[in-house]
Chain A
Amino acid sequence: MIASVQNKTLFSDAFRSGRALLPGEPWLQALRDSAIGCFEERGLPTRKDEEWRYLDLKTLGKTRYGTPAGKPEISESFAREHFLGGTLARFCFVDGKYDASLSDVDELPAGVELLSVAEAMNKNEVQLKEALEASDVDFRHPFVALNTAFLQDGYVLCLKKDVQLEKPVQILFLGSEASENCAEHSRHFLFLAEGAKAEVLECYVSPKAGNFLNNVVTEVALEKAAQLSLYRVQAEGGGCSHLNYSKVSVGESAHFESKVFSFGAGTSRNEIETELSGAHAVCSLEGLYIGGGDQCLDNRTVIDHRVADGKSREFYKGILGGNARGSFSGKILVEAGAQRTDSEQNNRNLLLSDDAEADSKPQLEIYADDVKCSHGATVGQLDADQIFYLRARGIGEGQARSLLTAAFAMDLVESVANADIREFLERHVNQKLAQEVGR
């Protein structure tokens, strides 16, 4: 408890001392005050909180995070390494702040709005105010409260009715050395009106392993028959703590697809709460978490089937070596009226070392009687028969292991239709596997 009070103070102090510098009109300042108040009531979660039991927040709780000061130093070549080819637009953030020089939004067609939250504070204040005040996210979530209190930037992507993007949009977050001991609280909004369609790749990277906090909150709303594919590559250096919370609302016959690739950051949590709020809504949540060393990778999902005829598919895979710990907890809630719900959940883990740990917690709450819900979880090692089969053909044991590990990982990548995104993801998976499995 003492630890909790102490780290609560660290964030509160930072808020009080920095409050005057935080942007925004009085309504936003009032919202910040209300958010920090909510945070202070509960403080940072501990391992005793059931929903946070797998996450180690020790480093995070001990750090007095500041705001990135001075000019961020990020080499253009490092940024370019992470540019996705064949995009419609690229939006870059350095140390949590929008960077126009690395961005490219010239090709955006009519009916698409892509702007930074900082810009929205000036240009579209009314909409932003509406969005934040109507926001469904719950300040009882400590990192949502902190995110709101410290809110500075992020992106807003709005698609008008029937606007369908043919090429993906990339959002790139670069953490520079100036972010050492700093916190970045980004807030994103994705609104797709009826019949709209988009593919978005978010990528979080940093060249150095310094300690910083990336605290991201995303709100997604898909109207009738809208389709969103949201890919996330989370690959910051080892000192980073990455907390990512998304709240998604999927309307009638709309389709939400999420693929989360968590490879970087010493501590990470990727959390998605999805509501299937219209009939025939579909969501597919997939994740691949690969960890080594002392990494702790936590995944939490909630899928709330609110109405009838919804369909959800969930597939998370973990590859854990060294002393790494990975966890998946997936809650499926089928409400009383959500008849004919069709839901599948699967979590598979591959342990590459004796000291790695995988925790899997499926959680089904079903209040309707005509539903199809399945779930499965496995934790295992590489198959000895498969390793021997490869060795019996002359393939060395190390290479056999990396081949089989890559095979375990790649089906999540191979199902990506867009070739540019697929290659981008493949490269990241291979890089991470080379680090953790070697040859």
Chain B
Amino acid sequence: MEKAEMGKTLLEIRNLRVSVDGKQILKGLSLSVRPGQVHAIMGPNGSGKSTLAHVLSGREGYDVTGGEISYCGKDLLALKAEDRAREGIFLAFQYPVEIPGVNNMYFLRTAVNAVRSHRGEAELDAMDFLSFAKAKMEKLGMNKNLTSRSVNEGFSGGEKKRNEVFQMSVLEPKLAILDETDSGLDIDALKTVAEGVNALRAPDRAFLVITHYQRLLDYIVPDVVHVLAGGQIVKSGDKNLALELEERGYEWVDRGETEAGKGRVQG
């Protein structure tokens, strides 16, 4: 295909087929993301949105039965979850996990140092890390007491999502995947989280924003919008596609499923 473009591609998914417990969820999904872009993946419940997020992040329990994923020119599927993270993939969880007994800052420092030593950089000591992290926290307007607590333990829904964005800002990924980050957030929390994400937009960083609703995309404005239905991307377009979807509902694209894949857009 567009060979000239290949060098610039950060993530290239070709004809990905994934099944869970013998049930086919993704049925030939293709997607191409370049650095600096924000791609939104929208779709009805059960369309395979979260499966895509989990497969990209390396979660076990998903059988890739066909297709390939290339990330920075590497075979992503050959990498373990931790190595994907070290190579710059970040998944903001739909349901961030509570880890009682593990301090939030200790956890993050361990993560940052795992990434740094993977890159051959010197590890940060506790003091250096603290000042580095505090600067990030101020930028995000995060409550300081989140540092002294255990990872996500007893956090409100908004605090958990904000903690995800905080982690993202500290880990400085190349590809950030936001898995239904808007779920369970009121409008104020949604705005704060979106501001945090927007502040991280950069020419060398791409976002994959997975969402059921168009609402989030009012705040995180995407370059490309894809509609995922029945395990495939059935329609792609610019940000106006999201608005159209909101208006006409998902049945509108479901009906057009026969034309699947043809509408792939170069962003």
Contact = CB atoms under 8 A, between A and B. Distances in A.
Interface stretch (B89-97, B120-128, B132-140, B226-234): B89-97
A104 B30 CA distance: 74
A407 B102 contact: yes
Contacts of A410: 101
Contacts of B85: 391-394
A181 interface: no
Contacts of A391: 58, 80-82, 85
A389 B114 contact: no
A393 B171 contact: yes
Contacts of B96: 389
A395 B111 contact: yes
Interface string A371-415: 000000000000101101111111111011001101110110000
A404 B107 contact: no
B167 interface: yes
Nearest to A409: B101
Interface residues on B, range: 20 to 34
Contact of B99 (A386, A394, A396, A399): A386
B171 to A, nearest CB: 7
Among A383, A385, A393, A394, the most chain B Cβ lie within 10 Å of the Cβ of A394
Contacts of B86: 394
A399 B110 contact: yes
A389 B99 contact: yes
Contact of A394 (B82, B101, B102): B82
B215 interface: no
A386 B100 CA distance: 10
B114 A392 contact: no
A127 B51 CA distance: 74
A394 B115 contact: yes
Contacts of A390: 99, 107, 111
A163 B112 CA distance: 51
Majority secondary structure of chain A interface residues (helix, strand, loop or mixed): helix
Nearest to A397: B82
Interface in A265-306: none
Contacts of B60: 388
B134 to A, nearest CB: 19
Pairs A-B, 5 closest by C-beta atoms: A407-B101, A394-B85, A393-B111, A389-B97, A394-B114
B85 to A, nearest CB: 4
Contacts of A403: 102, 107, 110
B101 A399 contact: no
Nearest to B57: A392
Given A393-B111, A394-B82, A394-B86, 11 more contacts: A385-B97, A389-B151, A390-B107, A391-B81, A394-B118, A399-B114, A400-B82, A404-B102, A407-B99, A407-B102, A408-B101
Interface string A233-245: 0000000000000
B171 A392 contact: no
Contacts of A407: 99-102, 150
A388 B171 CA distance: 17
B59 interface: yes
B130 to A, nearest CB: 18
A435 to B, nearest CB: 20
B114 A395 contact: yes
Nearest to A408: B101
Contacts of A395: 82, 107, 110-111, 114
A390 B59 CA distance: 11
Contact of B167 (A393, A406, A408): A393
Nearest to B93: A389
Contact of B81 (A386, A388, A411): A388
11 contacts: A386-B97, A388-B59, A388-B81, A391-B80, A392-B57, A392-B58, A392-B81, A394-B114, A395-B82, A395-B107, A397-B80
Nearest to B89: A392
B152 to A, nearest CB: 9
Contacts of B91: 392
A95 to B, nearest CB: 38
Interface in B33-66: 57-60
Nearest to A384: B60
Contacts of B82: 391-392, 394-397, 400
Contacts of A393: 85, 107-108, 111, 114, 167, 171
A408 B86 CA distance: 26
Contacts of A411: 100-101
A434 to B, nearest CB: 16
Nearest to B111: A393
A103 to B, nearest CB: 37
B219 to A, nearest CB: 24
A139 to B, nearest CB: 43
Nearest to A405: B101
Interface string B182-200: 0000000000000000000
A224 to B, nearest CB: 37
Among B60, B93, B102, the most chain A Cβ lie within 10 Å of the Cβ of B102
Interface in A338-381: none
Contacts of A389: 93, 96-97, 99, 151
A236 B264 CA distance: 67
A386 B98 CA distance: 7
B170 to A, nearest CB: 10
A129 to B, nearest CB: 49
B264 to A, nearest CB: 28
A26 B214 CA distance: 92
Among A392, A397, A406, A407, the most chain B Cβ lie within 10 Å of the Cβ of A392
Contacts of B112: 394
Contacts of A386: 97, 99
A389 B82 CA distance: 10
Interface string B71-94: 000000000111001100011010
B100 to A, nearest CB: 7
Contacts of A399: 110, 114
A394 B58 CA distance: 11
A399 to B, nearest CB: 7
A324 B189 CA distance: 48
Interface string B213-224: 000000000000
Nearest to A396: B82
Interface string A193-217: 0000000000000000000000000
